[in-house]
Amino acid sequence: MQFNDLHRQYLSLKDELDKTIQSVISNSEFIGGKHVEEFEYNFSNLLGVKHCISCGNGTDALYLAMRTLGVQPGDEVITTAHSWISTSETITQAGGKVIFCDTEPDYFCIDTKKIEQHITSQTKGIVVVHLYGQPADMKRIIEIARRHNLWVIEDCAQAHLAEYDGQYAGTFGDIATFSFYPGKNLGAMGDAGCLVTNQSEYADYARLLARHGGKNFHKIEGINSRMDSLQAAILNVKLPHLKAWTKLRRQHAAHYDALLTKIPDLVCPPVREGCQHVFHLYVIRADNREMLRAHLKAAEIPTLINYPKALPFYPAYARLNHIREDFPVACKHSEEILSLPLYPEMPVSDRVQVAQSLAAYYSSASNTHKLVA
C-alpha cells in the first residue's frame, strides 16, 4: 500500500503531461514565458483573487510575504505551535521574532482564544496555517487582527480550495501562500509555490523581491525565486482537475469516518462547522500511537506523523526556552496524531484494509488491557 501514490495521478494524465513537458523542452522555454503567466492567471482566477505571484516553493512564498508586509527587526509575529517549520523559520529569516501560540483541541489550528494573550506593542502580524486542509477560524482571526491593527498571512500549503463560510482559504488575509510540492493537493514534479493577494502594492513588491528587485532596474535587493516553466506547464495540466481531486479526498475521508467511528479508542478528524476541509492529510488521534503505528507497519500500511514535535520543542527553537505547559494542546497532539494513507486515486480496498487493521489492533489491545486489569 502507498501513503500517496503520485504515479497513479501521472498515469491518469500521461498523454497531456508528456506532451506539455516535451513542448517546453522543444521550445527551450525554461524560465518565465507563457506557461508561468498562464498559471498565475489560472490560479488567481480559480481562487477569485486579483494577483498571483509564482515563486520557487511554498517556503519562499512565506518569506516573500513577510518581507512584503515589511517585517522589521524586533517585530513580533504570532504563529501556530503545530505546523511544518517553514511557517515559523521564515518569520526569523524576514527579521522578525517568532511568537508561538497553542492550538485548538479539536481542529489542530491556532487557538483564537489564546492569540490575544501573546499580543504586545511589538506585534505586527499573525501567520495562520490551515493545517491538514482544515481552515483555521478565519472570522475570529480577522476580528482579532482588525482590533489590534495586525496583518494576516494565510499559509495555504495544505489547503488548496478549502472553504470557510463558502469562501476559499487564502482570500481572507492580506497575503496567502501556496506550495505545489509534489505531495500537496496540487503538486508539481519538483518544487513550486506562489503567493496570492488582492492588494496591488503587495503584489508589485512581492514580484520585485522574488525577481532580484526587477530585472535590469533593480529597485531593491531581492532574491531569486521563480517557478520553472516546466513546473508551470505541469500545473496548468493538473489545475482543471483540482476540484474533482478535492471532492475525492472528501469522499475518502467520509469513508474513513464511517469505517472508523466503530472504533471508540480512535478520534477521527472533525470538520469545523461551516467549513469544507480538503484533507491534505487524514489525521487520527490515538493513545499509545507508537504501538499502533508499529502494528500498521507490520501489516505494510504506511503512516506518517505530521509532525513528531510541536515546533517550539525542536532544537531550532531551544533559545525560546519553552516548556510543555506553554503549549499543552499542541504537545498532547504531537504524541497522538497519526496520518493515514489518503489521496484522490486511492482504491476503496486500501481504506477497508486500513480500517480492518486498526479494528484488529484495538480488539486485541483491549483484550490485553482487560487481562492486565
Please give the Cα distance from 5 to 21 (Å, whole number). 21
Please give the Cα distance from 49 to 46 (Å, whole number). 8
* Residue found under cell 487582527: 145
Please give the Cα distance from 252 to 15 (Å, whole number). 27
Q: Give buried/exposed letters for 339-354 (b at 16+ CB in 10 A, else e).
A: bbbbbbbbeeebbebb
| Residues in Cβ contact with 166 at an 8 Å cutoff, skipping those fewer than 6 apart | 274
Instruction: Report how far Cα 301 is from the mean position of its chain's Cα atoms.
Output: 23
Smallest distance from the beta carbon of 192 to ligand PLP, in angstroms? 7
Among residues 157 and 346, whose Cβ is nearest to ligand PLP?
157
Smallest distance from the beta carbon of 180 to ligand PLP, in angstroms? 7
Smallest distance from the beta carbon of 366 to ligand PLP, in angstroms? 35
Smallest distance from the beta carbon of 371 to ligand PLP, in angstroms? 42
Please give the Cα distance from 246 to 185 (Å, whole number). 8
Among residues 154 and 336, whose Cβ is nearest to ligand PLP?
154
Q: Give yes or no for a contact between 185 and 342, defined as CB atoms under 8 angstroms apart.
A: no
List phi, psi (to 5°) of 312.
-60, -15
Q: Please, how many CA atoms are within 13 Å of residue 84, restricted to the half-sphere of its CB?
A: 14
Smallest distance from the beta carbon of 5 to ligand PLP, in angstroms? 19
Interface with ligand PLP by CB under 6 A: which residues?
57-59, 83-84, 86-87, 129, 155, 157-158, 179, 181, 191, 193
Question: Where are the strands (E) in 294-350, listed by range?
Answer: 337-340
Among residues 178 and 361, whose Cβ is nearest to ligand PLP?
178
Give the chain's largest Cα–Cα span.
76
Among residues 190 and 214, whose Cβ is nearest to ligand PLP?
190
CA quadruple 224, 155, 340, 236: dihedral, nearest 10: -60
Please give the Cα distance from 161 to 167 (Å, whole number). 9
List helix spans (H) across the chain: 6-12, 14-26, 34-47, 58-68, 86-93, 112-115, 138-148, 200-210, 229-238, 242-260, 289-298, 328-336, 348-372
Among residues 86 and 276, whose Cβ is nearest to ligand PLP?
86
Among residues 193 and 341, whose Cβ is nearest to ligand PLP?
193
Smallest distance from the beta carbon of 91 to ligand PLP, in angstroms? 12
Smallest distance from the beta carbon of 156 to ligand PLP, in angstroms? 8
Smallest distance from the beta carbon of 89 to ligand PLP, in angstroms? 10
Tally DSSP H helices, then E strands, for the chain. 13, 12
Among residues 112 and 179, whose Cβ is nearest to ligand PLP?
179
Q: What is the 3-state secondary structure (H, E, C) of 183-219?
A: CCCCCCCCCCEEEEECCHHHHHHHHHHHECCCCCCCC
Among residues 123 and 179, whose Cβ is nearest to ligand PLP?
179
Smallest distance from the beta carbon of 139 to ligand PLP, in angstroms? 21
Among residues 86 and 112, whose Cβ is nearest to ligand PLP?
86
